[in-house]
């Protein structure tokens, strides 16, 4: 085996690269949405506690495991784990440390390419004179292969390929000349862009409020996010959301931290470096991330609108319209800063996703950096193209759920058990070796007991999440009727496609409605392509923690509550030209009712295809690890 000679150039470069790995799109897109959907200030306390008892301990665990492996010439988790404990099972658990990165990169680079495209569109003024609906429609057209916002055919695919090629080029330049250099330039720029937008968000006040909007004030948005709600401490849903955000934001359970730490010298500090990267990520997320999207959106659209409609796509479907309210110069500047910020956050994370594969191929197959980088690009492209072509069919969401959520929890749980049961003393000594700080002794029992127990809690509750994530109603129903209704987004629910109520066969002669509602519009293009728009109006109420809760027939509601209606939720169905629509505008429809006749490939086909592709990827990597193990044994046998 050839020992890698690469190393970090400077300590600052290492910290910035680690921070860049953690600081990603989730800091600015996912965190504000999670906070809003979980009661604003109600989310912050569980978030901070989860960081202290789960996030920070896991960072230390991964840094210590990574440096230990690097000292023995391993830079990917399968053989780092194999070198720590001579049991074959652990190297196969370590496969998650490569699988997670490739699978996440397959769809993450696609989101990243959106930000690159929107930087371009901000510069050329594509959003000028567009109203809010037109800006939202612009995003839908960008993702569609039937339209182009630049004149380029398959525009979203072109930007995806550009983005993927740029990532591979950076990786091919090596650790110091590629990854570290990008981090040294990108992270400071990200902070500058973020500070500019955060100041604007904080100082906007009611200056953008339209006539008659009483809750259009950015200070209301900030207050909603920061006012503590101690009642949340008893809500399992908020704790699960906080724990999930910690996973997502710190890139723990990925395998990237292990790889980065494996290039740290034997006696260099890892304890303070891990803390520095973690706290810098927290600053970006809580201070900058919470001060941009939500306050600006509340300033123009109102708190109720944001609480009802907060979602990932707000960054692309809403923010360009809001920036346009600032005049031609500042709108362009803000658009470039906002989407430039997101692109930098994305690319400093996505290049990190590539390093475990490169370390694996360099260590175990003696491949050069460039060859390993471009082979990774080909593999990501193969796995990633379905997310581009079948984004609306659910492939993107399946990748994100299984690779970007469930697999992270499984891997983190495994490594925490490995650390706590088999190597707590060795791990603690490794962590403190060369440390510039003295880690409080209280963290040793936290890492040994509390962190793995909390991870096990997260996994089990994700496995059997109750309907609508309503734990109080679920426990009551279990006591009274001995029933437990699973939510469609529970692990068991996702495996069984519980959320798919209609069109449950792969291929059919009829298309069925997925929702209860009515026909809002029937559209026919010049080329004969048809689309059917179904809509439904949902009612919500606020609980004592100020959370917005959907009113459903099986939810136990308080006797007194204030309900309000959301915007109409719509489902748009693409109908082939040869198919026949069975409804007219204004007709009422129910879930499972036939709405069109023809030849259809249903959404469930693409969802199961995504699961199959991820399974095949994991099996492929497992076979590679097995082959390396066989090869190493043969080397020892040969004279």
CB 187, CB 144: distance < 8 Å = no
User: Average pLDDT, stretch 285-303?
Assistant: 91
Q: What is the pLDDT of residues 71-80, one digit of tens each?
A: 989 999 999 9
Model confidence at 113, pLDDT cuts 50, 70, 90, reads very high
Q: For residues 227 and 219, give the distance between their C-alpha atoms in angstroms, rounded to a whole number.
A: 11
Q: What is the pLDDT of residues 3-55, one digit of tens each?
A: 446 889 898 999 899 999 989 988 998 888 888 878 788 788 889 999 999 99
Q: For residues 506 and 393, give the distance between their C-alpha atoms in angstroms, rounded to a whole number.
A: 12
442 CB-near residues (< 8 Å, 6+ apart): none
Q: For residues 78 and 91, give the distance between their C-alpha atoms in angstroms, rounded to a whole number.
A: 4
User: Average pLDDT, stretch 221-225?
Assistant: 88
User: Average pLDDT, stretch 417-423?
Assistant: 83
Q: For residues 348 and 27, give the distance between their C-alpha atoms in angstroms, rounded to a whole number.
A: 13
Q: What is the DSSP string of 493-534?
A: HHHTTTT--S--SSEEEEEE-SSSEEEEEEEE-TTS-EEEEE
Ranges 380-389, 415-424, 528-537, 595-604: which has the least confidence: 528-537
Closest CA to 167 of 482, 380, 364: 380
Specify the pairing of strand 569-575 against strand 507-512: unpaired
**85 vs 167, more confident:** 167
SS3 622: helix
Q: Which domains does the chain have, with CATH numbers?
A: 11-461+611-633 (1.20.1740), 464-495 (no CATH), 507-601 (no CATH)
182 CB-near residues (< 8 Å, 6+ apart): 20, 170, 347, 348, 351
What are the CA-CA distances from residue 452 to residues 54, 175, 261, 403 (Å)?
A: 8, 32, 21, 20
Model confidence at 596, pLDDT cuts 50, 70, 90, reads very high
Q: What is the pLDDT of residues 184-212, one digit of tens each?
A: 999 999 999 999 999 999 899 988 888 87
- Is pLDDT above 80 for 85? no
* Beta bridge mates, 571: 534
Q: For residues 318 and 558, give the distance between their C-alpha atoms in angstroms, rounded to a whole number.
A: 33
Q: What is the DSSP string of 165-232?
A: HHHHHHHHT-IIIIIIHHHHHHHHHHHHHHHHHHHHHHH-TTTTPPTT-TT--HHHHHHHHHS--GGG
What pLDDT is stored for residue 567 in this prediction?
A: 47
User: Average pLDDT, stretch 568-597?
Assistant: 88
Give first-to-last CA distance, the chain, whole Å: 16
212 CB-near residues (< 8 Å, 6+ apart): none
What pLDDT is stored for residue 3 in this prediction?
A: 47
CB 66, CB 604: distance < 8 Å = no
Q: What is the DSSP string of 119-154?
A: HHHHHHTTTTT--HHHHHHHHHHHH-TT--SSS-TT
What pLDDT is stored for residue 172 in this prediction?
A: 96
CB 231, CB 545: distance < 8 Å = yes
User: Average pLDDT, stretch 416-435?
Assistant: 88
The mean pLDDT value of the chain amounts to 88
* Beta bridge mates, 564: 540
Containing 600, the helix (H) or strand (E) segment is: strand 594-601
What pLDDT is stored for residue 543 in this prediction?
A: 58
Considering all CA atoms of the chain, what is the largest pairwise distance in Å, rounded to the nearest integer? 86
Angle (deg, nearest 10), helices 11-22 and 328-365: 110
Q: For residues 310 and 637, give the distance between their C-alpha atoms in angstroms, rounded to a whole number.
A: 61
CB 629, CB 88: distance < 8 Å = yes
Residues in the chain: 639
- Is pLDDT above 60 for 566? no
CB 221, CB 303: distance < 8 Å = yes
pTM over 0.85: yes
Ranges 145-159, 307-321, 372-386: which has the least confidence: 145-159
User: Average pLDDT, stretch 225-232?
Assistant: 76
- Is pLDDT above 70 for 557? no
User: Average pLDDT, stretch 131-152?
Assistant: 80
Model confidence at 81, pLDDT cuts 50, 70, 90, reads very high
Q: What is the pLDDT of residues 434-446, one digit of tens each?
A: 999 989 999 999 9
Query: Per-residue b/e over 139-164, b at no fewer than 16 CB within 10 Å?
Result: beebbbeeeebeeeeebbbebbbebb
- Is pLDDT above 90 for 64? yes
Q: What is the pLDDT of residues 508-539, one digit of tens each?
A: 999 999 988 899 889 887 667 788 888 876 66
- Is pLDDT above 80 for 153? no
User: Average pLDDT, stretch 150-178?
Assistant: 90
The number of beta carbons lying within 10 Å of the beta carbon of residue 441 is 9
The number of beta carbons lying within 10 Å of the beta carbon of residue 276 is 19
User: Average pLDDT, stretch 166-170?
Assistant: 97
């Amino acid at each position: 085996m050839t020992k890698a000679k690469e190393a970090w150039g400077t300590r600052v470069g290492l910290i910035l690269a680690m921070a860049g790995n953690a600081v990603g799109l989730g800091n600015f897109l996912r965190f504000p949405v999670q906070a809003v959907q979980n009661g604003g200030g109600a989310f912050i306390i569980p978030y901070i506690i989860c960081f202290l008892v789960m996030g920070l301990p896991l960072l230390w665990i991964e840094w210590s495991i990574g440096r230990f492996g690097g000292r023995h010439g391993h830079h990917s988790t399968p053989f780092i784990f194999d070198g720590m404990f001579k049991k074959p099972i652990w190297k196969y658990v370590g496969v998650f440390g490569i699988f997670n990165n490739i699978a996440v990169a397959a769809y993450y680079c696609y989101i990243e390419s959106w930000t690159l495209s929107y930087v371009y569109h901000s510069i050329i003024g594509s959003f000028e004179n567009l109203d809010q609906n037109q800006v939202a429609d612009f995003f839908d057209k960008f993702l569609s292969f039937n339209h182009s916002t630049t004149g380029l055919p398959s525009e979203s695919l072109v930007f995806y390929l550009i983005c993927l090629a740029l990532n591979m080029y950076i990786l091919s330049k090596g650790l110091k000349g590629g990854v570290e250099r990008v981090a040294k330039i990108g992270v400071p720029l990200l902070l500058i862009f973020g500070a500019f937008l955060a100041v604007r968000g904080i100082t906007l006040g009611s200056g953008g409020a339209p006539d008659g909007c009483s809750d259009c004030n950015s200070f209301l948005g900030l207050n909603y996010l920061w006012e503590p709600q101690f009642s949340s401490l008893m809500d399992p849903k908020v704790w699960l959301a906080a724990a999930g955000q910690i996973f997502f934001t710190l890139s723990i359970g990925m395998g990237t931290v292990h790889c980065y730490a494996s290039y740290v010298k034997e006696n260099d500090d890892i304890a303070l470096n891990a803390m520095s990267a973690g706290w810098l990520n927290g600053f970006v997320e809580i201070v900058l991330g919470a001060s941009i999207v939500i306050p600006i959106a509340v300033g123009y659209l109102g708190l109720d609108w944001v609480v009802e409609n907060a979602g990932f796509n707000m960054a692309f479907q809403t923010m360009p319209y809001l920036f346009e309210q600032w005049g031609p110069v500042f709108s362009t500047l803000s658009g470039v800063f906002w989407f430039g910020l997101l692109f930098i956050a994305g690319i400093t994370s996505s290049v990190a996703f590539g390093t475990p594969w490169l370390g694996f191929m360099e260590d175990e197959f003696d491949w050069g950096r460039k060859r390993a980088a471009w082979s990774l690009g080909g593999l990501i492209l193969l796995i990633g193209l379905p997310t581009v072509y079948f984004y609306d069919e659910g492939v993107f969401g399946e990748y994100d759920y299984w690779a970007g959520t469930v697999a992270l929890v499984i891997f983190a749980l495994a490594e925490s058990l490995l650390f706590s049961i088999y190597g707590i003393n060795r791990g603690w000594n490794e962590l403190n070796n060369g440390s510039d700080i003295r880690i409080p002794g209280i963290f040793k029992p936290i890492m040994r007991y509390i962190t793995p127990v909390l991870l096990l809690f997260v996994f089990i509750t994700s496995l059997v999440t109750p309907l609508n994530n309503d734990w109080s109603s679920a426990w009551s129903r279990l006591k009274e009727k001995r029933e437990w209704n699973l939510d469609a987004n529970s692990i068991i629910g996702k495996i069984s496609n519980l959320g798919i109520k209609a069109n449950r066969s792969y291929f059919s002669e009829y298309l069925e409605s997925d929702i209860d509602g009515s026909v809002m519009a029937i559209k026919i293009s010049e080329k004969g392509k048809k689309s059917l728009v179904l809509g439904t109006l949902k009612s919500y109420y606020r609980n004592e923690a100020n959370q917005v809760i959907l009113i459903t027939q099986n939810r136990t509601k308080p006797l007194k509550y204030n309900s309000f209606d959301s915007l109409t939720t719509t489902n748009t169905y693409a109908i082939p030209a040869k198919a026949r629509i069975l409804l007219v505008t204004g007709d009422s429809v129910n879930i499972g009712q036939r709405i069109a006749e023809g030849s259809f490939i249903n959404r469930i086909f693409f969802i199961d295809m995504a699961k199959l592709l991820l399974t095949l990827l994991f099996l492929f990597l497992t076979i590679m690890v097995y082959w390396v193990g066989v090869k190493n044994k043969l080397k020892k046998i040969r004279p």
